Amino acid sequence: MESNGLDVIAESERKGRAAQLFWPWFGSNVSVLGLSYGSFALGFGIGFWQALAAGIAGIVFSFLLCGCVAVAGKRGSAPTMVLSRAAFGVRGNRLPSAVSWVLTVGWETVLVTLATLATATVFDRLGWGGGTGTKAAALVVVAVLTVLAGVVGFDLIMRMQTAITVVTAVLTAVYIVLAADEIHWETVRALPAGSAQDVIGALVFLMTGFGLGWVNAAADYARYLPRRTPGRAVAGWTTFGASAAPVALLVFGLLLAGSSEKLNAAVAADPIGALTSVLPSWFLVPFALVAVLGLVGGAVLDIYSSGLALLAVGVRVPRPVAAALDGVLMIAGTVCIVFLSQDFLGSFTGFLTTLGVPVAGWCGVMLADVALRSRPYDDADLFAPAGRYGDVRWLPVAVLGGATAVGWGLVTNAAAGWLSWQGYLLGPLGLGGTSGRWATANLGVLATLALGFAVTLATQRGRVRAQEAAASSADADGETTPAPGSTRR
């Protein structure tokens, strides 16, 4: 059981090489859900080559953002949402921590939901029953695996991700071989091209579905590396490990969805279960295994990071308890989606776009803060409101709030009626309003990311220099006070 919570990892516990970051990132993104993103991208009304370009750019760029944030982990050896205190202040950081917590709980709920639905679909095709009882049993199994790993912590997660990577990579390759006959290149090539706005919309959706869904947890695994580890290696292995599988899966997913209108439509209701329609019966059980393991791999990282984010908000419980609490919420959310919701894709799109905006703003501020720093973080001051990082840094908080307001004014969510208030700036800025051609481009995510980065880079250079010039507030023996959520002494 990992005892570390928000506290800085002790020098004696820092170990490994940057290359080891490949395993957790690859294992959490090798899910066959990546195939469904091909259908999601084509849903923007664009052609194959446009979707391919938008997909590769969106995946690689968004995970590069994760790689850059991960550098802060080896510099500070603390969770991402603790290191973010250097930019927002110790208590000012509670706002982005709350957003981060909602995002990670939401993502783990989505992944467990997909695993449950996929299992039910496979059982139904095998004639074993895919009704309420099967869904309930699948939910129990998936939830136990996810919550157990999140509660036990880092070492178990790293071991699980290595095993998940090997098993899912092999079985996914078998799926691709078996489904290859369903690809009809002439049909794919004949897909009509879409507008530039549609391409941008697909790119932004893929960014929020991949890297921007992980940036708020990107440093949580690099924090165990020795501080002498090269920053370029941390960024490189994080980016490579996270994007390698999604790029390959997206390409095949585009070919598969582009070859069949029926499959393309089915993916919207059951993104993973629909993929079983092209498989022989004998491979359905292995497919269920690869689907569930891949989704559990992502959910495990999310529940671990959501527990840390809950502690960063200010909830004073041990880290395992925080992970368990998030597990309860995850199960409740999954029950609502699986047994009550009729429109998974609409809810999913609204969730990604709406939370993607403030997360993009936080990411912009955090990236600029990381870029401005050249020295390790001061361990003790990350937990001291009176220290060099301050209590509440109002300018970064205001930048995040203002950039988010601009971003929400430039995105729309037609598939989720409860978000119809968004897009309020599209009309005043001459972009055609919520029914114009720019409505589906979701420019707000890119605008918020750019605003957060540019304003922070322009205004915080002097403050960062002053922080790094201040004398260290660490104890004479170099140890720091254990943080809330930690049981280490």
SS3 for 422-438 is CCCCCCCCCCCHHHCCC
CA separation for the pair 349, 220 (Å, rounded): 26
> pLDDT tens digits for 431-451?
999 888 898 888 999 999 999
Residue 248, pLDDT score: 92
CA separation for the pair 73, 466 (Å, rounded): 21
**Degrees to nearest 5, angle at CA 347 with 312 and 110:** 55
pTM: 0.84
- H helical segments located in 314-393: 319-340, 344-372
Q: Which token pair is 37?
A: 């993103």
Residue 296, pLDDT score: 80
With a cut of 70, list the residues of the chain below it in pLDDT: 1-5, 154, 269, 341-349, 414-416, 472-489
Residue 134, pLDDT score: 85
- Closest alpha carbon to 370 in 488, 252, 468: 468
CA separation for the pair 207, 353 (Å, rounded): 10
CA separation for the pair 336, 324 (Å, rounded): 19
> pLDDT tens digits for 347-360?
666 777 788 899 99
Q: Which token pair is 321?
A: 């308890």
CA separation for the pair 176, 486 (Å, rounded): 44
Residue 358, pLDDT score: 94
> pLDDT tens digits for 123-149?
888 887 778 888 888 888 888 888 887
Residue 384, pLDDT score: 92
- Closest alpha carbon to 68 in 379, 403, 364: 364
The DSSP string of 182-222 is: G--HHHHHTSPP--HHHHHHHHHHHHHHTGGGTGGGTTTTG
**Residue that is written with structure tokens 């880290």 in the block:** 319
Distances (CA, A) of 455 to 91, 277, 392, 444, 448: 21, 49, 18, 16, 11
- Ramachandran quadrant class, 24 (left: phi over 0; alpha: psi -120 to 50; beta: rest): alpha
CA separation for the pair 228, 239 (Å, rounded): 19
Q: Which token pair is 370?
A: 């990381």
CA separation for the pair 350, 347 (Å, rounded): 5
End-to-end CA separation in angstroms for the chain: 15
CA separation for the pair 330, 304 (Å, rounded): 12
Q: Which token pair is 157?
A: 């997660």
Residue 472, pLDDT score: 67
Distances (CA, A) of 47 to 148, 261, 407, 456, 481: 43, 13, 27, 37, 56
Angle between helix 33-42 and 231-259 (nearest 10): 60
